[in-house]
Structure 1
Amino acid sequence: MDQLIKQVEKWSIDKGLDKGNSFTQFTKTIEEQGEIAAALCRNDIDELRDGIGDVIVTLVILAQQNGMSLQECLEQAYREIKGRKGKTINGTFIKESDLS
């Protein structure tokens, strides 16, 4: 995974995306999320795999543009959720604070 992330970061540098506009990069992430939704609607596993990968690529670049790494972003998110209490309802986790 580390090697793939480094390859994506190098690719983005080669394309000048590392210095690009973060809002534009974020909109690319949203576009790719739409492709995930379409793949799910069509039950197309290959397109789903591609869409998930594309979202990760856009997030690697977005983090890079802001002087962060994907790993540190994921570590921060995990620190926030690891002790979170709540309940899973119909396959969706609801935070304890949102249950009342």
Structure 2
Amino acid sequence: MIKEITDATFEQETSKGLVLIDFWAAWCSPSGSIPPILEEIQEERGEKLKIVRIDIDENPETPRNLKVKSIPTLLIKKDGEIVKKRLGYNSKEELDEIINKYV
């Protein structure tokens, strides 16, 4: 299951290992199509990859600090450093290809 995080837990939850962060909002229809893909990736990757989601409406500080200007936006952090940023919808194949570069 994909963990929901907040502004308060963002740094703690994304500072170690390989983490994919999904910035989303309830009113954004493409945001709703991404969770099933992320769930599948999480199942396949297990402990090698942590996937979290943050609702930008309920947690505006983190997206503002990271200059997230559109959603959906996906960030990949490795050991606390942002290594990749993707905007919009991404297929499972596209995400797997990106993740493979950092595993």
TM-score for both structures, normalised by structure 1: 0.29
Structure of greater relative contact order (alpha carbons < 8 Å, 6+ residues apart): 2
Q: Highest Rg: 1 or 2?
A: 1
